[in-house]
Amino acid sequence: MGSRHTGLYKAVLAAAAIAAGTLAATPSLAELKGLEIIAPASPGGGWDQHARTLQQVLQDQKLASGIQVANIPGAGGTIGLAQFVTAKKRSPAILVGGQIMLGAIVMNKSAVTLDQVKPLARLTGEYTAIVVPADSPIKSFGELLAKFKADPGSVSWGGGSAGGSDQILAGLIAKAAGVDPAKVNYVATAGGGELLASALGGHVTLGMGGYNEFAPQFQAGKLRAIAVSAPQRLAGRDTPTLKEQGVDLEFVNWRGVFAQAGAKPAEMKELQEALAKAVASPEWQDILKQRGWIDQYQPADQFAAFLKDERARIEGTLKDIGLTR
């Protein structure tokens, strides 16, 4: 009986917390007050989850207080980016972003680019899995490449949005295999359930997406992973890498955070230190494990250098595919 009563009591307390709103801040010794985290996407997606996880960890670790998450969805994050760049500066604010944003900026001819924000830190990454239905005649990545080289159009590549990470990886694989990237028969989906269903149902030859999104289907024996874009095999998995199978490629769908261009050096330092402490916390590491995100933390200067190369690679590939000129 006692436990039921405490249970009820907890329920009432939690209900009161919901009623009071989720954003209520407790005053603490936090360094950063009133931090705003912009997720340039709808609730529920990867960027939104990163924003909300950061909110939770920064708050619990007493690194910041009164944190608000704002969703500004649209156009691969470029709407959120544009608003972040042009917004009047009030409280400290950071923007969550990632690889897809790089492609979207070029594809949408965005007036605002990542030159107008300051890289703060790379946070996580996901490696891409290439999957086929369990009963597919294709047994290995080698067989897939042979089919692709013989008749590029006969292989339909299912993945996320046009110009996004998956299509870029498809283009890079084609190039490495000596096939014109413009010949890739890429079928763009809204990702998530739609992509998973077309892979499970065998409506596309292969599916591409975050390894962990597909992983439960490997265990259930409904999909087979024939390649992963990581530098070496993932811990506890036997999926061979692209490199092992003769395609010299590494590809990670990374996510990171940016500060406004007008952020002062002192503020940049504060933000960087808070993020460094947050990613080192056991809480952050636990959440990464649960979500299947891989720790790819890079501090600001390394991240900036990485971004430079990454931009060149992505913009070049989009041209090769023929999506941009």
> Of 23 and 312, which has the nearer Cβ to another protein?
23
Buried b (16+ CB within 10 A) or exposed e, 139-167: eebeebbeebeeebeebebbbbbbbbbbb
Of 177, 187, 249, 304, the one binding another protein (CB under 8 A) is 187
Of 36, 58, 66, 71, the one binding another protein (CB under 8 A) is 71
What contacts 188, CB < 8 A, 6 or more positions away?
159, 160, 161, 162, 164, 167
Please give, one letter per residue, the 3-state secondary structure of 46-68. HHHHHHHHHHHHHHHCCCEECCE
- Residue-level length of the chain: 325
Q: Quick check: 161 binds another protein (CB under 8 A)?
A: yes
Q: Quick check: 281 binds another protein (CB under 8 A)?
A: no
Stretch that binds another protein, among 25-33, 41-49, 114-122, 241-249 (CB under 8 A): 41-49
Of 65, 99, 110, 165, the one binding another protein (CB under 8 A) is 110
Distance CA 133, CA 223 (A): 4
> Of 12 and 312, which has the nearer Cβ to another protein?
12
Round to the nearest angstrom and report the end-to-end CA distance of the chain.
70
How many residues touch another protein under the rule CB under 8 A: the total is 64
What contacts 190, CB < 8 A, 6 or more positions away?
160, 161
Of 35, 37, 64, 72, the one binding another protein (CB under 8 A) is 72
Distance CA 184, CA 299 (A): 36
What mask, x for binding another protein by CB under 8 A, covers residues 197 to 236?
xx-xx-xx-----------xx-xx----------------
Residues at the site binding another protein, with contacts judged by CB under 8 A: 4, 7-8, 10-12, 14-15, 17-18, 22, 42-45, 48-49, 52, 55-56, 70-75, 78-79, 82, 107-111, 153-154, 156, 161-163, 185-190, 192-194, 196-198, 200-201, 203-204, 216-217, 219-220, 290-292, 323
